[in-house]
Every structure is written in structure tokens, then in C-alpha cells.
Copies of this chain bind each other. A is one copy, B any other.
Amino acid sequence: MYLDPNQSKPIYEQVIFNIKKQILQGILSPGEQIPSVRALAQSLGINPNTIAKAYKDLEAQEVIVTVKGRGSFVNQVPSNDELSLQEEKKIRQEIREWLTEAQYAQIPIETIHKWIDEEVERIKNGN
């Protein structure tokens, strides 16, 4: 896992992001134990509280399950047959927020579609 200190995104969100990416890439499999709070904190050189916060959020999102005294484990990826309306609203909101920026910078819409396809590949393959 790699954290970019130059990024404005808070560390704990970067950790959440990375764990999810590793699950999608199959580096972490359902049922598998993820590193302990203290171990990950030490290997990243940051405070354990920050990792604990990330793990708690991941549990609230039902990405992992945590058992006190034993550790945290990867959950099943949700079988989102019915795309929750809330999820759609959230993603659309995020699209809207950078798309005006992109339009203003005169980036052709085809280029944007291309970039998205490339990034999807990147997530699947692992950079």
C-alpha cells in the first residue's frame, strides 16, 4: 500500500480506498484477514488511531467485519443486483463535481470516456 502525503485526501480515506482496491484486484479475498491495526500503522509509519478509523469506516460500509480480540476480515463483495438509488445519486454527484472542470478545460468527451476505460483496466490489473 502506498500513501501520497501530497494529496489533499486524508490518510484514513486513502487507506479505505487502497483496501477496497486490493479487494477488487483479488489481492485480498473474502474471508481473509487484513493486517492488524498496529501492524499496518507501523508499516506505513503513521498513528494506529488513523488506521483504526479507516477500519471502522470500512466496517460501517460492510466491506470488512471486525472481531474484537481476533482481527478484521474481508466480507463478501455485495451482489448489488438492484442498484441502490442512493448509490447512484452519490456517484452522479461525484461525476458532476469534476465534469464541469473538465468541460471548462475543453477536454473532448471522447477523451474522458477513453480515460475512464483506461482507469478501469488499471484497477482490474493493479496499476
List residues of chain A with CB under 8 Å of any chain B CB: 5-7, 9-10, 17, 20-21, 23-24, 60, 63, 65, 67-69, 77-80, 83-84, 87-88, 90-107, 109, 111-113, 115-117, 119-120, 122-123
Instruction: Please indicate the chain B residues that have their CB under 8 angstroms from the CB of A60 in the complex.
Output: 60
Q: How many copies does the complex hold?
A: 4
- CB-based nearest B residue for A59: B8
Contacting pair A106 B80 (CB below 8 A): yes
Instruction: Please indicate the chain B residues that have their CB under 8 angstroms from the CB of A105 in the complex.
Output: 78, 80, 83-84, 87, 91
Contacting pair B115 A113 (CB below 8 A): no
Contacting pair A98 B92 (CB below 8 A): no
CA distance A17 to B122 in the complex (A): 29
